């Protein structure tokens, strides 16, 4: 195969990056300029032209899905299969290392990965054993804090409490949590990375092996690496390997999770002999979309600064729909999607993005109603569903009965008469003797400490697990799963549950058996169940969904990073929602929200639709927000305001304050009237719009400025 095909469809700057023969390469460029494409082609170039073995290449992507795609694209370019090449996420790669070197990493051979839910459960347990009041010390906060320390590479032993009672408590929990994880042989996501870093730090011979192996390391989405990931890269690169990093400072959106955009700045210092390339042509979006994105991000200070342009045409205007409420918003999106599909487009070429996961529920309902298949990318996914987690817990116990997290989860699911009191006895014994819950339960049975009923219940649970794990070696994975689901009584429990939900759960459990049947272990010589459980845990962390049906994709703005779709909706463009209200008082966080808006807008290739709602019920309460500042930053001439026909007497601008004089009499209010609103306080009526239940009123409030409200629900009171 000849090298020119690696270079076709690359512009001059992209080609310069792909072929650069300096040791290191930094590509710093805006959205849609071909960074990921450069990375893929550079790998092909290294293999084809520089004769580097695929075995000597390590590529880091942001999601497992991205790594699968990367592999496919390189396969395609080179026409050879790339077995032996390491491509994966930081977490996936760390897991692979720890599996290979579990002894050096001081882990048990069959260590288990805790997902965020399991981690929280364990943190709670530790806090309970310390008698900490959950009201005063929310376990979620402790979990967050611990992960934050780990992301910085800090263990409890590295930290000093000083005089701060908050820190002192967090530190105590951190210590207890570390000990418990150690004892149970489980590790959380942040721990994967930190362990992998320490593996190299404390085992120079292991590090040397990988330093010799990997001649070239490539990292996509470099702006979102955290301190531990960056340290890991530097260690691995040593002085000999080459490192290619591609990223965009304007798309750094994981600061809240410890990502450090400064890593881009440190890069040129830490990796001398670097060739830096900027890419400026955007190949993804129409110029209207790009104009909007550039205008929004321009408001941030301290940018590295880039000039992004496109030679594709203007394209359509950006649609802006002002909805009455979240239901109206969702209906509008569903309608619009349906007509797009009717025009012959595929649903999977469209995406609905939102700031907060909670927004998906109403969107889902509207899509269901309109019979539009959808896929949630990153929400409650298959492996995170309750019934599936329960089934997996049985499988985990079959593999390792000392898995306390799994034990806690299913010891009384389905209910078998093991109550909180019995459990407390087991927990206490386990804690006092630092043994597993399984061992504690066995000991308690032997010593006949429980009443007959409870004792029988515990005994039959232990027996159930023992029986199932006795058959581990003989049965194929799917049959093991089937046994677990049947014999545990899980499937029977959900069969008896009434309605759709029980039905869906039964189907999910059946689907799990299907997943086991289709599972292909990486290593055919090793037992398959542990490999399956690890894959599941990693997939759940990755938050991706894979299905074959043509479906619109729903996802948070965060998980849309790196992706592109011909049609993109961004729902909920409102102050307090996006930008998120938690960010409003902190300039740093507000800038991160703005970058998130930039990421969202730049996902769109042909058409972007922005929607906002005048009133919204979310998180259990109703709020009235004005349109997002990010919408206001978009030049008016690329926006087309959409109004549904018939419901509105005339179009208004979202910034409008034009006074109308002929309406409103029938409503009991009149122009200029002083009114009061329970949230906004007092103000004067400026305008009426529409009639019937959807009639709206513009009020200029003394405290918060002009708001457009639905008359019927605003509960205005004449003053
Ligand atoms: P993001 O910042 O969103 O991750 P990116 O910089 O990684 O974007 P890519 O996803 O690599 O950009 O490319 C964006 C789109 O432009 C893709 O569809 C890609 O195939 C296309 N593209 C990139 N370079 C070229 C080129 N030289 N000719 C034609 N199409 C290109
Ligand atoms: Mg990319």
Where residue 82 sits, what CATH number does that domain have? 3.40.50.300
Nearest-CA residue for atom 24 of ligand 1: 34
139 shares its domain with 16: no
Q: Once rounded to an integer, what is the mean pLDDT over residues 69-77?
A: 88
Would the pLDDT of 691 be above 70?
no
Question: Would you call 221 a catalytic residue per the annotation?
Answer: yes
pLDDT higher than 60, residue 650: no
Pairing of strands 86-89, 350-354: unpaired
Number of domains in the chain: 5
What integer is the mean pLDDT of 666-677?
A: 77
Reported confidence tier of residue 690, pLDDT bands at 50, 70, 90: low
Contact 573, 634 (CB under 8 A): no
Same domain, 480 and 573: no
Ligand nearest to the CA of 61: 2
- 3-state class (DSSP) for residue 112: strand
Is 323's pLDDT higher than 90? yes
Kindly state whether residues 260 and 120 are assigned to the same domain: no
Ligand index nearest the alpha carbon of residue 599: 1
Active site residue 602: no
The verdict on 615 and 555 lying in the same domain is yes
For the entire predicted model, the pTM comes to 0.74
Residue 520 and residue 566 in one domain? no
pLDDT band at 665 (very low <50, low <70, confident <90, very high): very low
Distance 218 CA to ligand 2 centre (A): 13
- In the set 115, 151, 221, 328, the catalytic residue is 221
Distance of CA 454 to the CA centre of its chain: 41
Specify if 287 maps to a domain: no
Other C-beta atoms closer than 10 Å to the C-beta of 25 total 26
- Distance (Å, whole) CA 458 – CA 444: 9
Q: Which atom of ligand 1 is nearest to the CA of 603?
A: 3
Q: Residue 278 class from Cβ within 10 Å (0-12 exposed, 13-18 middle, 19+ buried)?
A: middle
Give the atom of ligand 1 at the shortest distance from the alpha carbon of 602.
3
Query: Of the bound ligands, which one is closest to the alpha carbon of residue 40?
Result: 1
Q: Ligand 2 centre from 170 Cα, in Å?
A: 37
Is residue 683 predicted with pLDDT exceeding 50?
yes
For residues 257 and 641, the model is more confident at 641
Residue 390 in any domain: the answer is yes
Active site residue 603: yes
C-beta neighbour count of 165 within 10 angstroms: 9
User: Of all atoms in ligand 1, which is nearest to the CA of residue 29?
Assistant: 6
Give CA–CA dist 409/47, Å, rounded.
Answer: 48
**What's the per-residue H, E or C state across 226-255?**
EHHHHHHHHHHHCCCCEEEEEECHHHCCCH
Residues 165 and 266 in one domain: no
Q: Which residues of 289-305 are buried (b: 16+ CB within 10 A; e: fewer)?
A: bbbbbbbbbeebeeeee
User: 617 in a domain, yes or no?
Assistant: yes
Verify that 332 and 374 share a domain, yes or no. yes
Q: Are residues 440 and 332 part of one domain? A: no
3-class secondary-structure state, position 389: helix
Residue 37 CA: nearest ligand 1 atom is 11
pLDDT at 662: 40
Cα 97 from chain centroid?
Answer: 23
Top mutation candidate among 284, 309, 312, 353 for ligand 1, by most atoms within 8 Å of CB: 284
Residue 35 annotated in active site: yes
289, part of any domain = no
Q: What is the 3 state secondary structure string of 437-497? A: HHHHHHHHHHCCCCCHHHHHHHHHHHHHHHHHHHCCCCCCHHHHHHHHHHHCCHHHHHHHC
Q: What percent of the chain has pLDDT over 90?
A: 56
Bridge-based pairing of strands 216-219 and 374-377 is: unpaired
The one catalytic residue among 118, 188, 198, 220: 220
What is the 29 CA–ligand 2 centroid distance (Å)? Answer: 10
pLDDT bracket for residue 499 (50, 70, 90):
low
Q: Per the domain annotation, does 299 fall within a domain?
A: no
pLDDT band at 524 (very low <50, low <70, confident <90, very high): confident
Which residue's CA is minimally distant from atom 9 of ligand 1?
34
CB-count exposure of residue 356 (10 Å: 0-12, 13-18, 19+): middle
For 71, residues 6+ apart whose C-beta sits below 8 A from its C-beta are: 82, 85, 87
Q: Ligand 2: distance of its center to the CA of 565 in Å?
A: 13
- Among protein residues, the one whose CA lies closest to atom 14 of ligand 1: 32
Over range 567-595, report the average pLDDT: 92
pLDDT tens figures, 154-201: 999 999 877 888 999 999 999 999 999 999 889 999 999 999 999 999
* Structural domain of 123: 112-184
66 Cα: distance to centroid of ligand 2 (angstroms)? 9
Q: Examine residue 66 and state whether it is found in any structural domain, yes or no.
A: yes
Enumerate residues lining ligand 1, CB below 6 A.
Answer: 9-11, 14, 29, 31-37, 248, 251, 283-284, 562, 564, 602
Which tens digits make up the pLDDT trace of 10-29?
A: 999 999 999 999 999 999 99
Q: Sorting pLDDT into bands at 50, 70 and 90, what band is 679? A: confident
Q: How far is CA 496 from CA 39, 388, 492, 523, 705, in A?
A: 52, 17, 6, 39, 55
pLDDT of 205 above 60: yes
Nearest to 30 by CA among 279, 318, 203, 384: 279
One domain for residues 91 and 231: yes
Residue 677 is predicted with a pLDDT of: 85
Burial class (CB in 10 A: 0-12, 13-18, 19+), 341: middle
Residue among 35, 99, 347, 707 flagged as catalytic: 35
406, pLDDT greater than 50: yes
Around ion ligand 2, which residues have CB less than 5 A away? 35-36, 562
Contact between 337 and 552 under an 8 Å Cβ cutoff? The reply is yes
In a domain, 597, yes or no: yes
Q: How many CB atoms lie within 10 A of CB 647?
A: 16
| End position of a domain, from candidates 260, 281, 302 | 281
C-alpha–C-alpha distance, residues 192 and 92, integer Å: 9
Mean pLDDT of 573-595: 90
Q: Is the pLDDT of residue 658 over 50?
A: no
520 CA to middle of ligand 2, Å?
Answer: 29
Alpha-carbon span 298 to 64, nearest angstrom? 32
Query: What distance in Å separates the CA atoms of residue 569 and residue 577, rounded to the nearest whole number?
Result: 16
Which atom of ligand 1 is the closest one to the Cα of 30?
Answer: 2
Give the residue from 608, 69, 639, 31 showing the smallest Cα distance to 351: 608
Domain end marker among 184, 211, 227: 184
Asked if 343 and 369 count as a contact pair (C-beta separation under 8 A), the reply is: no
More confident site: 144 or 63: 144
Q: Indicate which CATH number applies to the domain containing 144.
A: 1.10.10.160
Q: What is the Rg, in whole angstroms, of the alpha carbon atoms belonging to the chain? A: 28
Mean pLDDT for the stretch of residues 318-337 = 94
Residues 482 and 441 in one domain: yes
Q: How far apart are CA 68 and CA 538, in angstroms?
A: 14
Q: Is residue 649 included in any domain, yes or no?
A: no
pLDDT of residue 1: 54
pLDDT at 264: 85
Same domain, 393 and 501: yes
Same domain, 21 and 62: yes
Whether the per-residue pLDDT at 654 is higher than 60: the answer is no
Q: Residue 354's closest CA among 370, 378, 371, 331?
A: 378
CATH code: domain of residue 446: 1.10.486.10
Residues with Cβ < 8 Å from 706, sequence gap 6 or more?
Answer: 626, 657, 686, 698, 699, 700
Measured distance CA(128)–CA(190) in Å, rounded: 23
Instruction: Give yes or no for residue 504 having a pLDDT over 80.
Output: no
d(CA 410, CA 429): 19
Classified as helix, coil or strand, 675 is strand
């Amino acid at each position: 195969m000849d090298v020119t095909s690696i270079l076709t469809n690359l512009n001059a700057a992209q080609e310069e990056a792909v072929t650069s023969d300096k040791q290191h390469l930094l590509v710093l460029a805006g959205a849609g300029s071909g960074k990921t494409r450069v990375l893929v082609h550079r790998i092909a170039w290294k293999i084809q032209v520089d004769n580097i073995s695929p075995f000597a290449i390590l590529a880091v992507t942001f999601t497992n899905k991205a790594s699968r795609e990367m592999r496919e694209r390189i396969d395609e370019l080179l026409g050879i299969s790339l077995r032996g090449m390491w491509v994966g996420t930081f977490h996936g790669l760390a897991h692979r290392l720890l599996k290979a070197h579990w002894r050096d990493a001081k882990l048990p051979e069959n260590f288990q990965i805790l997902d965020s839910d399991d981690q929280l459960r364990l943190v709670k347990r530790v806090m309970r054993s310390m008698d900490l009041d959950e009201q005063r010390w929310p376990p979620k906060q402790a979990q967050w804090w611990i992960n934050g320390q780990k992301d910085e590479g800090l263990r409890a032993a590295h930290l000093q409490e000083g005089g701060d009672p908050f820190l002192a408590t967090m530190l105590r929990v951190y210590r207890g949590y570390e000990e418990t994880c150690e004892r149970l042989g489980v590790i959380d996501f942040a721990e994967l990375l930190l362990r992998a870093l320490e593996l190299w730090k404390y085992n120079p011979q292991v590090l040397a092996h990988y330093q010799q192996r990997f001649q070239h390391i490539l990292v996509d989405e470099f702006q979102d690496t955290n301190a531990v990931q960056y340290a890991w890269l530097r260690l691995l690169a040593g002085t000999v390997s080459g490192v290619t990093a591609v990223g965009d400072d304007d798309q750094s959106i994981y600061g809240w999770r410890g990502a450090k955009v400064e890593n881009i700045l440190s890069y040129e210092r830490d990796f001398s002999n670097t060739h830096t390339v900027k890419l400026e042509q955007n190949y993804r979006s129409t110029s209207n979309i790009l104009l909007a994105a550039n205008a929004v991000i321009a408001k941030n200070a301290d940018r590295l600064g880039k000039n992004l342009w496109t030679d594709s045409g203007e394209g359509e205007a950006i649609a802006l729909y002002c909805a009455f409420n979240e239901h109206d918003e969702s209906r509008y999106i569903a309608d619009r999607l349906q007509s797009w599909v009717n025009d012959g487009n595929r649903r999977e070429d469209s995406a609905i993005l939102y700031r907060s996961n909670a927004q998906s529920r109403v969107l889902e309902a509207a899509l269901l109603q309109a019979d539009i298949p959808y896929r949630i990318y990153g929400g409650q996914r298959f492996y995170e569903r309750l019934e599936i987690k329960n089934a997996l817990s049985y499988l985990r116990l079959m593999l390792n009965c000392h898995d306390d997290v799994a034990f806690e989860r299913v010891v009384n699911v389905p209910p078998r008469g093991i109550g909180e009191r019995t459990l407390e006895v087991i927990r206490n014994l386990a804690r006092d003797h630092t043994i597993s819950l399984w061992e504690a339960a066995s000991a308690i049975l032997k010593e006949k400490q429980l009443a007959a009923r409870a004792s029988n219940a515990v005994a039959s649970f232990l027996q159930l697990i023992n029986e199932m794990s006795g058959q581990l070696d003989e049965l194929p994975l799917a049959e093991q799963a089937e046994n677990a689901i049947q014999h545990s009584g899980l499937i029977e429990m959900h069969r008896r549950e009434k309605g759709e939900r029980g039905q869906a759960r039964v189907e999910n459990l059946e689907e799990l058996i299907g997943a086991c049947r289709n599972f292909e272990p990486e290593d055919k010589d090793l037992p398959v169940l542990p490999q399956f459980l690890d894959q599941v845990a990693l997939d759940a962390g990755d938050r991706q969904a894979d299905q074959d049906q043509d479906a619109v994709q729903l996802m948070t703005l965060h998980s849309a990073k790196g992706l592109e779709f011909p049609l993109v909706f961004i729902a909920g463009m409102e102050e307090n929602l996006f930008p998120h209200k938690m960010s409003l008082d902190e300039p740093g966080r507000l800038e991160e929200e703005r970058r998130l808006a930039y990421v969202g807008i730049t996902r769109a290739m042909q058409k972007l639709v922005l929607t906002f709602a005048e009133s919204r019920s979310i998180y259990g309460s109703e709020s009235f927000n004005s349109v997002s500042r990010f919408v206001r930053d978009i030049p008016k001439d690329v926006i087309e305001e959409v109004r549904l026909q018939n419901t509105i007497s005339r179009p208004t601008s979202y910034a409008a304050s034009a006074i109308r004089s002929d309406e409103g009499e029938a409503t009991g209010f009149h122009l200029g009237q002083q009114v009061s609103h329970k949230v906004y306080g007092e103000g004067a009526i400026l305008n009426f719009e529409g009639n019937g239940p959807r009639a709206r009123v513009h009020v200029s409030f003394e405290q918060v400025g002009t708001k457009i409200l639905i008359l019927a629900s605003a509960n205005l009171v004449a003053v």
